[in-house]
Amino acid sequence: MMIKDFGAQVESVWEGLRPVTKKMLVGVLQAKNENPVNTPTQKFSYDTQSDWELSRLLSALDEQARDADVTNNPEKLSELQKLTETCISVMEAQSESAEVFIQLAERALAKRDYREIDRLADLLAERFSVGEMCEIARQTTNPAIRAIAMETIALMPVEEILPMLDDQIYDGIARAALEMKAYEYESEEARRILDHFGFDEMIDD
């Protein structure tokens, strides 16, 4: 099946992809067909532009998946889902972007795919910087996604959270994470930091 069979919007976004991004997706899709257990996404280059391109493609694919022309055509829907799953697998394997995480988490929540939500939470802890976690907490309007980000930040070592206190954008998020770490996870180190900055007194007031 050709990309044009997925509709004008998907075709337009696909045509706007860089050749390297197209090659990456085609390569991963072929690898999935040959060996669905072990997809070598790490062999392909990936950068912030890849994030932006795949995010746009995923949005277009999701929109097209709701079109009656697709939903009433099992073959077309199956092929669209394969490309969608490939796009998601690459983003999950490579992205460290707050925007991409929010997009994937929103999709999982909308589908009530709690296994996927757990996987995304694990990826957040394994690969994302505390700064990107703070950005997720700042950007999202979804309480569940913000809770995942805040809990993950609170589980990070204190020394990784501390620099965020000097950032005017993230200082409130960092403080809230330290409070969670101190009182919910009983971290004495976090309590000492709160005492040092006088945050405990502010809480008591």
Residues of the chain with pLDDT under 50: 40-41, 201-205
C-alpha distances out from residue 131 to 38, 96, 174, 195, 203, Å: 31, 11, 10, 23, 24
Question: What's residue 70's pLDDT?
Answer: 84
Given its phi and psi angles, is residue 45 left (phi above 0), alpha (psi -120 to 50 degrees) or beta? beta
Please report, for the chain, the start and end positions of each structural domain, with discontinuous segments joined by +: 1-95, 102-205
- In this structure, what token pair is assigned to residue 86? 């490939």
Question: What's residue 205's pLDDT?
Answer: 45
Question: What's residue 203's pLDDT?
Answer: 45
pLDDT 10s digits, 120-130: 999 999 999 99
Question: What's residue 200's pLDDT?
Answer: 54
Question: What's residue 202's pLDDT?
Answer: 46
Rounded to whole angstroms, the Cα distance separating 105 from 114 reads 10
State if pTM tops 0.75.
yes
Question: What's residue 45's pLDDT?
Answer: 81
Packing angle of the helix pair 98-110, 114-127 (nearest 10 deg): 160
Question: What's residue 82's pLDDT?
Answer: 93
| Residue type (1 letter), 83 | L
pLDDT 10s digits, 38-51: 554 456 788 999 99
Q: In 3-state terms, what secondary structure has residue 114?
A: helix
